[in-house]
Structure 1
């Protein structure tokens, strides 16, 4: 199943406190952004990559694309103040594609089999998101006091990619823009239209590099995958 993928890459990365875009930090002497891009570059089913970037970082990212031979990027749109605005800027440029994925640029450990499963479910159902089952005991808390213990058997921790029939995603983005609605992710925008969203079980390795501790996890995952 062929698809295009949107990667919002214009975040500030404040929690990393690195003094630069966290996507430029390196794992095994290679920027996180490139690790992520290479997954899609190497997947024959991926026909196009759409990046949302900060204007001031555009030239540097373009140089990285050349250096690492990332050839599938179709456009670098100006990112917005919120992730949703960055995704929407890319959605407005995508043409002639049935299935479109949205993926966190800071999740470099997604695997191609999971991507393909998401694309297949999105093709048949219209919307699919990656997630893993909650492992820890979950408590509902208010004002610092536990109200109840929540049954975790029906709880999932949501990741990306999130995959959609392109017309479904485009309509969801249009309605959110019209209504000045800001969601937590693309699935939420689709849900508010009344469209069902299906879960595809992912991997606990599909972590988002957010804090300095995540860099340690990332190095460990790479060491396990490639050795050394």
Structure 2
């Protein structure tokens, strides 16, 4: 669970992963479906070094998450944090699932599907078709090319991989020379096929004020559709 970001774009006065949704930190909501998923053996949470104790006391312990194996400090970049997480996992780990800590609307079905596909083919990414027309432009804002929308997908998380594949991707010599925004990019550079699975447009990554407003709305809609039922930890069922 990658959650070491600073959340500067949100400008909320608190790191985005700890912002409250229905009285619970975003990260606590995100952890819930992983805790419930029978295919998940353990969870490793990566946060900023200064947030280790806060995460334990405010995010994990109040909701009795039994599968959280460790909470470790992350790195400067997202990929550095993921690499540290990989290195801290047990050697006998077979499948590694990477998920953004600020995607609280991930479903157990997405998690299970990504694990099953990774076990079968090696690499799986949850994604949704791009809705808008995408244009490539230069630094002056001049359009260079209009991309064919029919072949474009918006990658989300979870992203799941056979452990040997992801470890190899993160030990690649080109790793230090490049900056990537998702794990599949590194796997692709090994020449390994990455399979796409159906995601959801509600599986948002909360990075801006607009995202936070939408998250409150989505949570309200979920609570109404589930008739206000929560589990013993106060998380929506």
Q: TM-score over 0.5 for the alignment?
A: yes
Superposition TM-score, scaled by structure 2 size = 0.89
The residue number in structure 1 matching 2:130 is 134
Equivalents in 2 of 1:172, 1:49: separation in Å? 21
- SS of the residue 2:190 aligns to: coil
- SS of the residue 1:140 aligns to: strand
- SS of the residue 1:33 aligns to: helix
Query: 5 Å matches for 1:40-51?
Result: 40-51=34-45
Q: Structure 2: where are the runs of 5+ without partners?
A: 229-237
Structure 1 residue 177 displacement after superposition = 7.1
- Taking structure 1 as reference, are residues 178 and 110 closer, same or farther at Cα in structure 2, changes over 3 Å only? closer
Structure 1 residue 222 displacement after superposition = 1.0
RMSD, aligned CA = 1.5
C-alpha offsets along residues 143-189 of structure 1, whole Å, 9 cap, x if unaligned?
A: 22223322100000111111000110011111157654432211111
Q: Pick from 149, 162, 174: which aligns with 2:159?
A: 162
Query: 5 Å matches for 1:113-192?
Result: 113-142=109-138, 143-176=140-173, 179-192=176-189
Equivalents in 2 of 1:32, 1:107: separation in Å? 8
- SS of the residue 1:113 aligns to: helix
- 1:176–1:189 CA contact under 8 A, matched in 2: no
The residue number in structure 2 matching 1:210 is 207
Q: Structure 1: where are the runs of 5+ without partners?
A: 1-6
Superposition TM-score, scaled by structure 1 size = 0.93
- SS of the residue 1:15 aligns to: coil
Equivalents in 1 of 2:9, 2:176: separation in Å? 30
1:80 aligns with 2:75: yes
Q: Which region of structure 1 is more displaced relative to structure 2, 55-64 or 200-209?
A: 55-64
- Taking structure 1 as reference, are residues 179 and 144 closer, same or farther at Cα in structure 2, changes over 3 Å only? closer
User: How many pairs were matched up?
Assistant: 222
- 1:176–1:182 CA contact under 8 A, matched in 2: no
C-alpha offsets along residues 26-65 of structure 1, whole Å, 9 cap, x if unaligned?
A: 1111110100011111112211101112221111111121
Structure 1 residue 138 displacement after superposition = 1.9
